[in-house]
């Protein structure tokens, strides 16, 4: 990484995380940092703005940059979290079961709307159950525009579709829009998940876009409510 402001950002993040810089204290001023890192002030400011965006510091004009106490929170705040990352966090053994893998030749109007497709575009449908600690607690329903994904196998789905897309197909995912709602479980939820008497399902609708801003994937991730948790960080713009 030959990126100066990212290197500075990462160094300061590391210092905050390992306690070298205490929460509540001030960072060195931008002019001091500029000298320390032998760079320009704008470059320092880029690094500090990243820190502020990600909730590590709070910048105050006339005062300085205050280090925020992050100890109470599990980072990363927000962002695209894949099942693999989630499973690692929760600990316990995880497993993926592929319930369905099909190529829809004629998508219905709901799907065409969600993926903004022509009637001739085909769509991959993948239904997977996620098991953590012996319980099936997540049902993932993925719909991928086939024009971007020529091939898809059960093996790929058992591992990570994301890794396949990014590493093999070189598709770059750039951003996603999420919507979180709570629903009654469907018959499909009941049959594929270990609901254990829970009466609701947390549904995360995920619209995933590629680098050129084309929408290529729509995912519904259906979670048993007791295992669901979402963290968000929001800065207020005055």
**Site residues, a second copy (CB under 8 A):** 24, 55, 57-58, 60, 63, 66-69, 72-73, 77-80, 116, 172-182, 198-200, 202, 207, 209, 211-213, 215, 225-226, 228-236, 238
> Three-state DSSP class for 78?
coil
- Residue 56 in contact with DNA, rule: CB under 7 A: no
235 binds, among DNA, a second copy, none (CB under 5 to 8 A by kind): a second copy
Closest CA to 140 of 153, 131, 151: 131
Report the distance separating Cα 124 and Cα 102, nearest Å. Answer: 6
Closest CA to 103 of 156, 129, 161, 142: 142
In sequence order, what are the beta bridge partners of 203?
181, 222
Phi and psi, residue 189, nearest 5°: -60, -45
Q: Which of 17, 25, 35, 63 binds DNA (CB under 7 A)?
A: 63
- Residue range at the interface with DNA (CB under 7 A); choices 41-49, 157-165, 189-197, 199-207: 41-49
Closest CA to 160 of 224, 87, 218, 212: 87
Here the tokens at position 116 are 């903004």
Contact call for residues 167 and 87 (beta carbons, < 8 A): no
- Residue 235 in contact with DNA, rule: CB under 7 A: no
- Residue range at the interface with DNA (CB under 7 A); choices 26-34, 79-87, 161-169, 223-231: 26-34
- Residue 32 in contact with DNA, rule: CB under 7 A: yes
By C-beta, is 23 or 225 nearer to DNA? 23
228 binds, among DNA, a second copy, none (CB under 5 to 8 A by kind): a second copy
Report the distance separating Cα 213 and Cα 234, nearest Å. Answer: 24
- Residue range at the interface with DNA (CB under 7 A); choices 17-25, 54-62, 127-135, 220-228: 54-62
Report the distance separating Cα 114 and Cα 117, nearest Å. Answer: 8
79 binds, among a second copy, DNA, none (CB under 5 to 8 A by kind): a second copy
Q: Which of 10, 23, 45, 233 binds DNA (CB under 7 A)?
A: 45
Q: Which of 16, 50, 65, 224 binds DNA (CB under 7 A)?
A: 65
Q: Pinpoint the alpha helices (H) of 60-206.
A: 83-90, 109-115, 154-158, 161-163, 187-192
Count the residues of the shown chain that bind DNA, applying the rule CB under 7 A.
26
Lookup result for tokens 């890794």? 163
In sequence order, what are the beta bridge partners of 81?
none
By C-beta, is 45 or 125 nearer to DNA? 45
Binding interface with DNA (CB under 7 A): 2-6, 27, 29-32, 38-43, 45-46, 48, 59-65
């Amino acid at each position: 990484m030959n990126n100066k402001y990212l290197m500075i950002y990462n160094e300061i993040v590391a210092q905050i995380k390992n306690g070298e810089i205490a929460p509540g204290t001030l960072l060195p001023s931008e002019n001091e940092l500029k000298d320390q890192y032998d760079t320009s002030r704008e470059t320092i400011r880029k690094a500090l703005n990243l820190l502020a965006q990600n909730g590590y510091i709070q910048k105050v004009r006339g005062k300085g940059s205050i280090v925020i106490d992050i100890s109470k929170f599990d980072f990363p705040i927000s962002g695209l979290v894949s099942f693999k990352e989630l499973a690692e966090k929760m600990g316990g053994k995880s497993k993926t079961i592929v319930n369905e893998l099909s190529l829809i030749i004629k998508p219905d109007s709901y799907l065409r709307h969600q993926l903004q497709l022509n009637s001739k575009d085909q769509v991959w449908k993948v239904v997977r159950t996620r098991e953590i600690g012996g319980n099936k607690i997540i049902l993932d329903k993925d719909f991928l525009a086939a024009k971007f994904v020529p091939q898809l196998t059960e093996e790929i789905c058992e591992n990570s579709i994301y890794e396949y897309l990014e590493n093999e197909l070189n598709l770059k995912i750039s951003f996603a829009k999420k919507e979180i709602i709570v629903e009654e479980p469907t018959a499909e939820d009941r049959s594929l998940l270990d609901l254990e008497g829970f009466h609701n399902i947390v549904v995360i609708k995920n619209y995933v876009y590629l680098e050129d801003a084309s929408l290529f994937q729509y995912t519904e991730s259906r979670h048993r409510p007791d295992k669901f948790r979402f963290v968000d960080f929001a800065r207020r713009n005055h």
